[in-house]
Chain A
């Protein structure tokens, strides 16, 4: 395999992060009305926003999204929980009370001027409680793409009255039962069902957008987070169908690749996998035992995943890694073409020159919150790079801008709506809802 000498220079120029903001955005001109809460919903909007869509986030006046107050005291920073920002970049924040008829009318008017609506209420809630379901909104906008995220879907035995969080999706999908080892369940440490579901729901939204680009037709798109995790369990179902058995838990091992494990180093943990024979020969060289690769019990991929072989290699790797730092293991593995990777922490991420150069760790300055360091968009697009423009804002921060620019309301009407309680911003003194202490109006747009 020969890789051209200039390939990486060419790729670095093609994706040059210094030029991200000079380039166009893939979804410029697409407007998303985000009526959703917490993560599984706001993240769908966020991912479309990273690609250039204009996202209007609607929150209940006063307190706003519950992620603003998630966590213990250590999460509170500049008067808001750090948990709020990751699903709310570059959005316009409006506070509208959907319980009031005037608020519902504003939502209808915004939906009439939007391309995509996102919600994640229990099935049927927006239609039955607020008159803002798909059937009502498509009356005012036949081209609308309406994206509904739920736990179990819009219909079916489990959809009625049953709420969901990511952890429930982990449990009922069967993913928990194939994760970790032993009897006690292992809870996956992030809200995987929300995030994976949200990125899949964004895929569904854009597939619908492509259909609309071709035909002008809108449609209803739904994504259920439990079904998302069922979808993401590779061969689990096929295996159960053929054998009638449950896939066994193997911890950090792998049913296909051996060796596979996570090992303690002098300064943390490292993950090591060798899949192919070629990788395994490299691993043996790394361990200083090239002859191992010729032993019968290790000679083929099938032999290596026999239980005694797995245990023998596991012990060798554990001992070898124990005496080394994560960087030493990574460097030695790279030399021999073996995948070994530090188990990275948030500090490792924050300090990684590689991740910063790729804007996967993205540092920027926000007028309200100052310097921000966050995870940047995952896919890198050479011609239309996704990007972060600003951080999430207090509840109702952009009321005037949105209502004047998009709906053409004047100050008198806005005052009336405020007086009627149909629109509003953060309630004074409500933790998480308002701007940081000492804010003097920085970042205001109207």
Chain B
């Protein structure tokens, strides 16, 4: 599939059985490979291709991504931007852009119909309401209450369309003592509020953030999960609802036992650098050609690691012979030194070969710390269609990460990458309002589009 401006297929409920079926009695690996064949994706239906989603993200990555996930799974997503374009179009690293837009935006604004509407004008709001009256889902990341003030919040839109699922993204949420007058949402401040920042880095140094805008990815996962749960319930009840998703809470839910440990013992989980409170070894060690991750923390797995290191006696060492012993800080430091003294003599490929050749019992988890370009050099991701290069007629040569899920019946997919603001104005106005080119031109002249 290239990135041409293809038109999504119509809903195909009840389509013929089109499963790619390998030999039903073949080996699992062969069967599942055929059933998930990335080359066969376009022949299969889409899980969400009966949904219409309005993406009102405006300088908000988590809201943008929520719509992206739904678009990958088949929804028709209409991205509504102000006439000058979403400010997020400017987001990207210095010194690189695609089609004049920032790389952060181009990487994720995919599979959409791009419509411009000036919501500060009455006619713009009228058109938005016309779309919302028929939408299944609306996603926004404005300051809480902003759209409500424009008469476009859930209060008003749910009266027009009781089946609407309305997703609002923000840092502190739509309710609670700190919801009023909240500052704009950013990934770094979300990582701080979530507590993840407090856990990452060395104990003596300042906390360190995750390098990508991970809170937005988490927020979008929760936004999409909430949306799909709400749509399932709508099948039974006929009613939509509002979903409030905080990017900070999105990551906080990923913090395992932190708050329970505090409740149970009063201990405050802190930064442990390359060490670990709960499991060890589970760390990075130096190898001949860089760094690698190694883990073997249950007893059988640790013994397997000792065997591969040629140090079986370490498995019986009283400092290391139980999970409790291996997770005292002093013993973790000693054990990491033992592993490093061994690992630094080999390349990560040499160690991986030994790990995979070990007959068991026990399982060692090992792999290199890849620079992104090293990941790109591994065939695995390309064979699986996890990454793809495409030559797009509008944005040129692009290398993009593909949808995260594999599904045998309704695989998600990339249809086309980003498009300029307002690229699909004609199509959307014609499709939803019956307006032809001259009416669209009139709206544009009035500054509505």
Contacts and interface: CB of A to CB of B under 8 A. Distances in A.
A binds B: yes
Nearest to A158: B380
Contacts of B249: 355, 358, 360, 378
Contacts of A240: 372-373, 376, 399
Contacts of A8: 144-145, 174-175, 179-180
B367 interface: yes
Residue among A210, A249, A374 with max Cβ neighbours from chain B (10 Å): A210
Contacts of A180: 201, 208, 211
A341 B401 contact: no
Given A11-B144, A231-B401, A262 B375 contact: no
B356 to A, nearest CB: 6
B372 A172 contact: no
A70 interface: yes
Interface residues of B, number: 186
A19 interface: no
A237 B32 contact: no
A82 B327 contact: no
A399 to B, nearest CB: 25
Residue among A217, A279, A343, A374 with max Cβ neighbours from chain B (10 Å): A343
A359 B367 CA distance: 38
B191 A271 contact: yes
Contacts of A66: 298
Main secondary structure of the interface of B (DSSP, over half): mixed
A19 to B, nearest CB: 12
Given A11-B174, A240-B373, A273-B186, A344 B93 contact: no
Nearest to A232: B217
Residue among B28, B50, B399, B404 with max Cβ neighbours from chain A (10 Å): B404
Interface string B401-441: 11111111110100000000000000000000000000000
B213 A234 contact: yes
Contacts of A358: 173, 175-176, 246, 249
B405 A168 contact: no
A157 B379 contact: yes
A201 B228 CA distance: 13
A159 interface: yes
Interface stretch (A97-105, A331-339, A404-412): A331-339
Closest 10 CB pairs of A and B: A241-B399, A189-B199, A3-B145, A206-B228, A195-B254, A178-B211, A219-B409, A379-B226, A383-B241, A271-B192
A133 B47 contact: no
Interface in A232-263: 232-247, 249-252, 254-257, 260, 262-263
Given A208-B410, A358-B173, A75 B369 contact: no
B222 A379 contact: yes
A165 B36 CA distance: 23
A217 B365 CA distance: 36
Interface stretch (A289-297, A346-354, A414-422): A346-354
B368 A172 contact: yes
A379 B225 contact: yes
Nearest to A167: B293
Contacts of B1: none
A186 B265 contact: no
B159 interface: no
B200 A186 contact: yes
Nearest to A146: B408
B149 A175 contact: no
A238 B399 contact: yes
A242 B328 CA distance: 46
Residue among B214, B218, B260, B293 with max Cβ neighbours from chain A (10 Å): B260
Interface string B38-68: 0000000101101000000001010000000
24 contacts: A8-B144, A11-B145, A26-B230, A30-B232, A154-B28, A156-B384, A171-B293, A186-B201, A188-B200, A189-B196, A192-B210, A199-B225, A207-B405, A234-B104, A238-B400, A273-B188, A273-B189, A275-B59, A301-B90, A339-B183, A354-B176, A360-B252, A377-B253, A384-B241
A271 B197 contact: yes
Interface stretch (B77-85, B122-130, B278-286, B308-316): B278-286
